[in-house]
A = this chain, B = another copy of it.
Amino acid sequence: MSQVFSDGVVARATEEINSNPPSRRHAENILPHRHKVASPPRQTLFQEFKQNFNETFFSDDPFGKFKNQKGSRKFILGLESIFPIFEWGRGYNFKSFKGDLIAGLTIASLCIPQDIAYAKLANLEPQYALYTSFVAPLVYAFMGSSRDIAIGPVAVVSLLLGTLLTDEIPNFKSHEYLRLAFTATFFAGITQMALGLLRLGFLIDFLSHAAIVGFMAGAAVTIALQQLKGFLGIKNFTKKTDIISVMRSVFSAAHHGWNWETILIGVSFLAFLLTTKYIAKKKKNLFWVAAISPMICVIVSTFSVYITRADKKGVAIVKHIEDGVNPISVDEIFFSGKYLSAGIRIGLISGMVALTEAVAIGRTFAAMKDYSLDGNREMVALGTMNVIGSMTSCYVATGSFSRSAVNYMAGCKTAVSNIVMSIVLLLTLLVITPLFKYTPNAVLASIIIAAVMSLIDIKAAVLLWKVDKFDFLACMGAFFGVIFKSVEIGLLISVAISFAKILLQVTRPKTAVLGKLPGTSVYRNVLQYPKAAQVPGMLIVRVDSAIYFSNSNYIKDRILKWLTDEEAQRTASEFASIQYLIVEMSPVTDIDTSGIHALEDLLKSLKKKDVQLLVANPGPIVIEKLHASELSGVIGEDKIFLTVGDAVATFGPKGVDS
């Protein structure tokens, strides 16, 4: 007998209310020139659906430019939207190329040492990162629409991938490990493409900026701590990434003595790198000093080790690095078997994280140079890049924060800088790779530490604290989750806190009591404007949210609580009792059936208290639904007003507003 919910609720309420007509003091007092609340032009169901669908999935109107075009033109436009290089390539000139060449060479010199280092985070041989930096930027240059992003392996994704893969296959020297890495890369690409093609790019917005700040900082600390292994030359190092396990490893290794040659190399090069970074930060036009310093470190340290044969004294070196270009790896991917599901899962997670990073970078630079970036198209580009990468011995690539900033400062104009970088990487693979054999691990550790330092964004955290405490909490949750547990847990906490915030938002919307600002007909929150005066005999409440199933009961109860509280207060101060409740609906953009039921319940409760409900400024959707549910008739069409001022003028004490 769930009819109790709907069976004639409206009818019954109508009956109850009409049977007992309220005293309408000023109903005759309708002012001239007063506008009525209008309903929007009626739409068919199809029109309505189409509009909502477009606004949800195609809000950026990607097909707008195809309208009113000839067939051949449409083909060219289509080609351009898949490969933007055909669009900007036509206007490309020598001046742009000069900028791109310099930027490309700069990021290449930064990229090579970072790659060799980052591959270690993913527990892969160094050449796989170099392969990645050759193929991925090339694909991106043709398909991507960001002009400033620098593509390649990045620290955080490498660490995440390494952790997830090792959880699945602890022996990272096995061939299965490498195959699973390619599998994960393939599915990371598929995930990214799918999100873009299905126009679901907005899903990545669910990881909030605050959570990203915390997650990145936590990952940076974790990565830096991991480097203590190479930095101090410790042999038996924990496989866990949390700070407690790592510190225990470090101090238990202290008994056996750390390797002093290693520490000397590490500390001196780290000091050099940090100094150049500091210089670059102070003088923006010296950015290139910091950009090439990792390469200098690698060259100097490799040469020193080679001369002194320090590797015989316990200084760990790269030892082996394959030369030659990327081998084909398409048959290495697990398309069946027991590792398939793990590959899909790892690909999904690392693909999403990689996407978050790339889109954040893309948006930042697009805003700085004021060009538009189509998030969904960008995802297709990144996804294709990783799918092709997985077939050519690459692992998950994305946009790098540090290299993109260098790219931007070095004056890149287009994605051609990525092509330049890619060509440099190709030459490196063909010619000079074997030279990295003597590069000491300690230098790589220093390079990583210096690189990830800039992921710790203290200013952003301070701003979070100042602006929004909940955001700060999300940030700290992610940070401590990463450093005390693992990157996965930190990521999980970030997502959970972000969702908790959304749920809180939709469950507990704000309501405010309004008062009249003296000398105006403007009604404002009395807590914000202490001068705003309440109207005798009336209570004006504004609901600051759409009324949905998730909050309809709360809103109803909250409005009744305002009424009870206010009545208690007014009785105490011998103010007139409340006869009218005005609900200001301007911010209520939508209402669903639960919301309609809540309004009905509110009406019934008010009826019992002998209080009249007046409604001010319902929006287009709300007024339509009030009509559809026939609730507008129950409230009374003459009790729905354009503004709070109109409602007060009609039913309020004379002279308050007219």
**A residues with CB within 8 A of B:** 1-7, 33, 35, 38-41, 45, 48-49, 55-56, 59-61, 202, 205-206, 208-210, 213, 216, 360-361, 363-365, 367-368, 370, 375, 401-402, 404-406, 454-455, 457, 459-460, 463-464, 466-471, 498, 501-510, 512, 517, 519-520, 522, 524-525, 527-531, 544-546, 548-554, 557-558, 561, 586-587, 589-590, 592-594, 596-597, 601, 604-605, 608, 617, 619-620, 623, 625, 628-629, 642-643
Contacts and interface: CB of A to CB of B under 8 A. Distances in A.
B587 A7 contact: no
B40 A202 contact: no
Contacts of A596: 467
A590 to B, nearest CB: 7
B209 A593 contact: yes
Given A35-B531, A466-B629, A527-B620, A459 B7 contact: yes
A74 to B, nearest CB: 21
B7 A554 contact: no
A459 B375 CA distance: 43
9 contacts: A1-B401, A4-B361, A35-B522, A209-B597, A210-B549, A470-B592, A509-B589, A524-B617, A525-B620
A531 B519 CA distance: 27
A347 to B, nearest CB: 23
Contacts of A551: 205
A505 B548 contact: yes
Contacts of A643: 522
A580 to B, nearest CB: 19
B592 A589 contact: no
Given A208-B592, A545-B589, A529 B38 contact: yes
A557 B552 CA distance: 30
| 3 smallest beta-carbon distances between A and B, as pairs | A587-B587, A208-B549, A6-B460
A134 B586 CA distance: 51
A631 to B, nearest CB: 9
Contact of A504 (B38, B56, B455, B601): B56
A587 B586 contact: yes
Contact of A2 (B59, B208, B401, B592): B401
A24 B210 CA distance: 36
Nearest to A507: B202
Given A213-B2, A561-B60, A33 B507 contact: no
Residue of A360, A550, A553, A594 with most chain B CB atoms under a 10 A cut-off: A550
Contacts of A527: 40-41, 620
A459 B592 contact: no
A459 B6 CA distance: 7
Given A33-B519, A38-B529, A620-B528, A589 B589 contact: no
A525 B596 CA distance: 22
B1 A605 contact: no
A549 B593 contact: no
A553 B205 contact: yes
A17 to B, nearest CB: 14
B370 A604 contact: yes
A39 B528 contact: yes
B548 A35 contact: no
A509 B56 CA distance: 10
Given A2-B213, A464-B593, A468-B625, 10 more contacts: A2-B401, A7-B457, A33-B519, A40-B528, A210-B593, A363-B553, A466-B628, A467-B628, A506-B506, A528-B623
Nearest to A45: B469
Contacts of A464: 593
A482 to B, nearest CB: 15
Contacts of A530: 38, 41
Most buried by B among A5, A45, A213, A554: A5
B502 A454 contact: no
A592 B210 contact: yes
Nearest to A4: B364
Contacts of A206: 503, 549-550
A594 to B, nearest CB: 4
A294 to B, nearest CB: 14
Contacts of A510: 589-590
Nearest to A498: B549
